[in-house]
Chain A
């Protein structure tokens, strides 16, 4: 696999009231052109932080890249100038953010906002940019697009606003699209439309997609490969079907088993859900030389408490950071 994006030993530190915490702690992964890679994990595990680091948009003064490389087509983005990052961000890598309403400007029409992106990054003139904006809205299936370009964000439904965000992210035909929980606030029927759209994009333009989600169903449906994050660390990685069929980390196993999934044929049998007790540790716990999942783990052994698990490799590029991975 030739990687379009390669992240090597990334460490991101956040300055908190209680000191500096590694919100991303030695994370490496690759992304190939045209593939969909999913990041899953509970709230606060560092999924959005990983995305923001790739975008060069870590929270100012609070977060910084402390170690590691982010290589895009071989170029190390952690060393790039602000200007270079802005250009990469506009043209090659774009992101759909977690909250659509806060990412659209309420005082400009959606057409103006898309056209602005095109003028800045594609040097289009006003008329062409406006025309292209309408085409993009049409491409993301906003009904009556030529008329809708003149609408303000509040005149659209939640699903339509999210599609506008996608249209904006697509405006410059990026090579990498990062979608951070792009459908969490939407009805599943609308979610299905958005997923179809992303799927078409990947097929037609070869866009590589990083899909951040907390929903294993979405992973199963959308992704080729997946990475499970826990407390700032990559704790499991692999081909989606391999990991779902045979998770090699107790956390992944728990995440799959604790959700009441829809099944092909429902019957009367309804055992209680598998529970993963406890919650994700606070930021001040991140970085400790131990397995940060140990307090919630039913497989914990003494070693887990005194040494951070190293990555164990299995068939088909499956990786698990668990001392007990072999026995799972």
Chain B
């Protein structure tokens, strides 16, 4: 079967078409059946924990870096994870990619029970989900030529005939805006933005359905950032890609995403579609976060009131019994210090523009 590599990804069947066989990876699901057939990634009650060394005689302690989070991403859409440094964004993404071990929870990619795959099944299935890393300097093998870096992921896919590899690699170079003569160069001969393009070409070469981008542009200069962000959007349209995007830059998030999950100390504290989150943030942490972003927009600077949050982040190994944000929250009340708020769906008036999905974990919002 010949590989048509530049065609439109057509939802669930794209990986099937690509591997040239019926999906062998569909394993019976432990979670409730997917209601929305448009959902590509479904994460339920994900927990990831790391052992932490205590003192000499101390008991082994666990840090819950990701603490019971759930989200879905629809095909062709972008979900952004934002939040404080150390809140668990990267860990959550690594767990989804099975690059760190999940402690509890379920992950489904399409119909596949992702965590139930055998090692061999996973090796093949990895082609469906790729990672673009933050650092375009250290994430590429310095001893390989650019084209070999891009080709590498194809090699573990027996389903793609070797004879087709070069053609696929060439098309990828073109798609990400690299010139053909640059295929023979080594990573150090490229600029940062060009290296990130190589990373993107490499991620795309197996025709993945989901691409996880962890701070894909934060190491780049603003002008180059714009080039890469436009490229990611263009590729999303051309190939029907689904993105899980992590970025600390809320301007970038605002530009790229369809929905956003805000994390604080391992929890999702607010989750909403793009317009609801930016135009009507409800959680005090999200409000403070958005109010702190410096902007060139004069209207925004005049309109908003900056909410400065003071205080320290609580010890992650010794969590307070109430809300994790209580120690810094400008609106804290008594119940916040005793009872942990649940992430609850907030009823918003369905406006024409928002899809009305808005969940918040705060006692003051219902």
Contacts and interface: CB of A to CB of B under 8 A. Distances in A.
A276 B296 contact: no
Interface stretch (B21-29, B94-102, B164-172, B305-313): B305-313
Given A216-B296, A262-B300, A42 B222 contact: yes
A255 B250 CA distance: 17
Contacts of B252: 260
A255 B312 CA distance: 35
Interface centre among A217, A219, A277 (most CB of B within 10 A): A217
B299 A264 contact: yes
A196 B310 CA distance: 12
Interface stretch (B60-68, B131-139, B273-281): B273-281
Contact of A217 (B274, B275, B295): B295
A275 B223 contact: yes
A158 B85 contact: yes
Contact of A143 (B223, B291, B306, B311): B311
A189 interface: yes
Contacts of A279: 191, 193, 221, 223-224
Given A258-B226, A275-B223, A276-B226, A263 B293 contact: no
A311 B304 CA distance: 37
Interface in A273-328: 273-277, 279-280, 296
Interface string B195-233: 000000000000000000000000001111111011001
Contacts of A256: 296
Interface in A221-272: 221-222, 241, 244, 254-256, 258-268, 270, 272
A220 interface: yes
A15 interface: no
Contact of A266 (B223, B248, B254, B310): B254
Given A193-B308, A255-B223, A266-B279, A220 B294 contact: yes
A87 interface: no
A89 to B, nearest CB: 29
A79 interface: no
B115 interface: no
A264 B234 CA distance: 26
Given A143-B311, A264-B300, A273-B229, A222 B294 contact: yes
Given A218-B294, A221-B294, A266-B275, A258 B254 contact: no
Contacts of A143: 311-312
Interface string B300-324: 1101101011111100000000000
A215 interface: yes
A191 interface: yes
A273 B300 contact: no
A58 B332 CA distance: 49
Interface residues on A, range: 35 or more
Contact of B297 (A42, A262, A273): A262
Interface in B48-62: none
Given A196-B308, A275-B230, A270 B225 contact: no
Interface residues of B, number: 50
A258 B84 CA distance: 25
Given A192-B306, A260-B254, A273 B230 contact: yes
A168 to B, nearest CB: 21
A215 B223 contact: no
Given A196-B308, A261-B296, A262-B300, A187 B230 contact: no
Contacts of A261: 251, 295-297
A308 B150 CA distance: 41
B275 A267 contact: yes
Nearest to B219: A43
A221 B291 CA distance: 12
B297 A43 contact: no
A132 interface: no
B255 interface: yes
B292 A188 contact: yes
A42 B275 CA distance: 31
Given A42-B221, A221-B294, A270 B301 contact: no
A121 interface: no
B245 to A, nearest CB: 13
A49 B89 CA distance: 35
Contacts of A264: 297, 299-300, 303-304
A53 B218 CA distance: 28
B49 to A, nearest CB: 21
A195 B306 CA distance: 12
A13 B191 CA distance: 24
Interface string A151-173: 00000011000000000000000
A141 interface: yes
A169 B225 CA distance: 32
Nearest to B249: A260
A91 B104 CA distance: 57
B350 interface: no
B222 A255 contact: yes
Contacts of B224: 279
B288 interface: yes
Contacts of A263: 295, 297, 299-300
Contact of B292 (A192, A215, A275, A280): A192
A255 B274 CA distance: 25
B358 to A, nearest CB: 15
A214 B222 contact: yes
A187 B300 contact: no
Interface of B: 84-85, 191, 193, 221-227, 229-230, 233-234, 248, 250-252, 254-256, 274-275, 278-279, 288-301, 303-304, 306, 308-313, 353
Interface of A: 42-43, 141, 143, 157-158, 186-189, 191-193, 195-196, 214-222, 241, 244, 254-256, 258-268, 270, 272-277, 279-280, 296
6 shortest interchain CB distances as A-B pairs: A217-B294, A260-B255, A258-B226, A192-B292, A276-B223, A221-B294
6 contacts: A188-B294, A214-B221, A256-B296, A262-B278, A266-B278, A276-B223
Given A157-B313, A258-B226, A263-B295, 7 more contacts: A42-B221, A143-B312, A189-B292, A192-B308, A263-B297, A272-B234, A275-B226
